[in-house]
Chain A
Amino acid sequence: MTPEARIQMDRANMESLFGRLSTERVPVRVHDIIIKGNTKTKDSLIESEVEALPAAAAGRAVAKRLQGLDIFDSINITLDAGPPELPGTANVVIQVSEAKMLTGNVGVYSKPEARSWSLEGLAQLKNFFGYGDLWDASVSYGWGQTSEVSTGVSLPRFKSISTPLSARISLLSQDWLKFSSYKEQGLGLSLGLLSTGNHDLSYNLSWRTLTDPSQMSSHTVRRQLGHSLSSALKYVFKIDRRDSPMRPTSGHAFVSTTQIGGLFPDIRSLRFIRQVSSQGDWVPLSLEDLSENSSNENSDDTGIDHIGGDLALTGFADLSFDLPLKVFRDAGIHGHVFACTGSLNKLTENAYKGFSLQKFRDSFRSCVGAGIIIPTKLFRMEVNYCYILKQLEHDQGKTGKKGNLLAGMGVNCWQEAPNTNSESDGMENSKTTPPDQIEGEENENGSSNSTVEETSGKKVNSGSVRQYVRSKTPRLRWTPELHLCFVHAVERLGGEESEPS
């Protein structure tokens, strides 16, 4: 066979093997897991994350799980041949590059539901003790409404508990003087006990103080003012099968939140049970949808304080359609018409005795509207016109135009990590391995090339506001050394016998 033909055959074999390794599952008997590149992170953390996966996991699943820890910039999973006395086994080499430890973020965000803006700052410390711990501190200042200072820590695993644990302390101050003549201050401690894909269990202990410095509150509000301790367990169950969170066209979602208060430590803490369920269905070209508009405006003159109720039921229907002109369709600008209704009823204090179906039907308020949604790179803008069909006495709803900006603009800053591997591009990792090491290894047991590279993290251009997210398709830059290694590996793994599919 001529050298050219041989090279051609080698190349064809290598390409086919590469194709198979990256798309199919090639079963490999793993002898050992070798972890490289972790200066701070404890080996035990990475090993336990890998071992938590089922034995038949693919390299991609392992990388995804480690990426989920949010402490690595890039993760390489490499297959190395096992010890020569055990043929047919392989060593899995996990090469990680740790992320920058301290990052910060400042931004101005809008909250259309509350018709307010807030300035938020967040500082995050990653992996301080090497156990994948994430520490963060955040400050949020909302003009005239809510301000919050909080700090928290989250651990991916703690000793034998394999689900993430988190703890958070927060100081909150809310100003409802304009609507209900009271101010609320709270000091809270929240512990996340259990958090898997669909389930979330947490415990909240908080000291709430309601005061009325304006001294204009109503009878009912006056009776509620004071100090209270709320000690509650909260369980959230959610299913999200929408095809896109921003503009879903099919699927369904269900969220159920249950809170039980007053268990411990002190029986004088607030006793309550609260259940919130919401269900949404999306059907393409149909009338059922969940949209996040609120269509009641509160005007400035308040004569009545509004506090709440025991049974709340709301329904939304939204039909969204593309606009006829092509230029709008390309930009993603679409229109929608919506209708919504809701009711709030008091059931406690014997009010349920006077509760009838007729009264329930009468308590529903409703409105309809139409609008245009303009999603842009920076923000998502909606302009809606709402018309109130029915409102009850003392509601303060206003018919009219309303604009929403769902925006987030922020500035990121970060601290350079101590290890100088500042390139977050997995592609270059193959270059950083010194060539003589490869040759040395090749002599002993040969090494195959990276087959799956997952790049995690974001590459931020420090001059622009936008974040550039690198796509996660596997890439490869071929060098002659790698070619030789690959050919060797192919021979060891029996690639010569395989045919390109």
Chain B
Amino acid sequence: MEDGRGERERLTLVARKPCFGLPTSCPKCLPVYIYLKFSKIPFSLEFNLIRPDSDQLPFVESGDYVAYNNEKGGTIQKLKEDGIVDLDSEASGIPEWVSMKAMVESWLAEAVMYELWVGSDHKSADKIYYSDLPWPIGKILYFKQVHSVKQLLGITSDNAERREEEIYGRAAQAYGALSSWLGEQSFFFENRPTSLDAAFLGHVLFTLHALPETSVLRSKLLSHANLVNYAENLKMEYVDANSSSSSVPQTDPSSSASRRGSKPKSKPKREKTEEEKKFRRRAKYFLATQLVAVLVFLSLLGGSNDADVELGDSDDGLDYE
């Protein structure tokens, strides 16, 4: 039990399963993994195979602290704001850096979402998200996800082609801009890794390795050699080199009462004064007593009526008419 608690104090990233030679193959989880790798903080990697549709993944936990992906702009943003790990302290003031980051997180993220769920066949998505779920559940969740992605991207049967051109056009523009801004440097900002590097590297690795060869997005990316080199170099240095502390997928079906220390936040509770509590308790007792008295009265009175009915009805035997 002590070992368990010690392990839980350590920083842990819970992400989706590894695939295609990547430590985690989901395009949302990969940037967080790379960010933690950049920060050189030791952390352990755990996998969750049964929540393909949850926006809480990936999350980082340490003891009782949890940084979910659907809070405060994403896991990385939450880690920065809570002071756990912040690589952007200087870069975040530079306007070009901010706009590059915005481009990666909007245009390129949309392009990957489109390509994974709508543009290509279902094989990549199945392998990443649904290979460990029983078949009926996997199929239904896949169709649900495709539908919600189409809604999110505003794709209908009328504007499907137009939207596709838009999405690919923007992605190509983004690649061009990033490629010219990067040049031959190894990082986007002053030779130091920032969250922009994490986000973009995650995107490039996913596009190159997880998307099929026929993918339009992939071919657009391959036309920028310096981006591909940038990705391969950083992958070798940070991702492959110490492919260390990834633990075996934990899917324990049993459970036990967990012990927990003090929580950093508590459930929002109404402040109740002592008097209010006493008053409420007394009111409850009063109402309960009244209700019980009424019911008992009704039932006992009902009981006496019933007795009359019973007597008049029991004429067994033969009535000879």
* Residues on A facing B (Cβ under 8 Å): 207, 211-212, 214-216, 218-229, 265-266, 268-272, 301-310, 331, 346, 348-349, 351, 374, 376-379, 381, 394, 403, 466, 471, 473, 475-480
Taking a contact as CB atoms under 8 Å apart, the answer to whether A376 and B51 are in contact is no
CB distance from A341 to the nearest CB of B (A): 18
CB distance from A365 to the nearest CB of B (A): 13
Q: Please provide the chain B residues from 283 to 321 with a CB less than 8 Å away from any CB of chain A in the complex.
A: 288, 292, 295-296, 298-300, 302-303, 306, 314, 316, 318-321
CB distance from B48 to the nearest CB of A (A): 7
Known: A225-B54, A378-B298, A381-B292. A309 touches B320 (CB 8 A): no
What secondary structure prevails in chain B residues at the interface with A? loop
CB distance from B67 to the nearest CB of A (A): 10
Q: What 1/0 mask marks residues of chain B from 260 to 285 whose CB sits below 8 Å from any chain A CB?
A: 10010001010000000000000000
Partner of A475, one of B56, B250, B253, B316: B316
CB distance from B311 to the nearest CB of A (A): 13
* Bound form: Cα–Cα A297–B319 in Å: 59
Whether, in the assembled complex, B178 has its beta carbon less than 8 Å from a beta carbon of chain A, the answer is no
Partner of A272, one of B253, B299, B318: B253
Taking a contact as CB atoms under 8 Å apart, the answer to whether A477 and B321 are in contact is yes
Taking a contact as CB atoms under 8 Å apart, the answer to whether B258 and A305 are in contact is yes
* Bound form: Cα–Cα A150–B156 in Å: 35
Taking a contact as CB atoms under 8 Å apart, the answer to whether B253 and A303 are in contact is no
Taking a contact as CB atoms under 8 Å apart, the answer to whether B321 and A478 are in contact is yes
Partner of A304, one of B135, B250, B258, B316: B258
Q: Which residues of B contact A475 (CB under 8 A)?
A: 316
Sampled A-B contacts (9; CB under 8 Å): A223-B252, A226-B49, A227-B50, A304-B258, A308-B255, A379-B299, A381-B295, A403-B288, A473-B316
Q: Which residues of B contact A270 (CB under 8 A)?
A: 253
* Bound form: Cα–Cα A216–B252 in Å: 20
Closest-by-CB residue of A relative to B70 is: A215
Closest-by-CB residue of A relative to B291 is: A405
Known: A225-B54, A229-B137. A218 touches B295 (CB 8 A): no
Whether, in the assembled complex, B133 has its beta carbon less than 8 Å from a beta carbon of chain A, the answer is yes
Q: Which residues of B contact A229 (CB under 8 A)?
A: 133-134, 136-137
Q: Which residues of A contact B256 (CB under 8 A)?
A: 220, 307-309, 346, 351
4 nearest CB pairs, A to B: A226-B50, A376-B299, A266-B134, A348-B254
Partner of A225, one of B51, B296, B320: B51
Q: Please provide the chain B residues from 152 to 192 with a CB less than 8 Å away from any CB of chain A in the complex.
A: none
Q: Which residues of A contact B259 (CB under 8 A)?
A: 304, 394
Q: Which residues of A contact B251 (CB under 8 A)?
A: 223
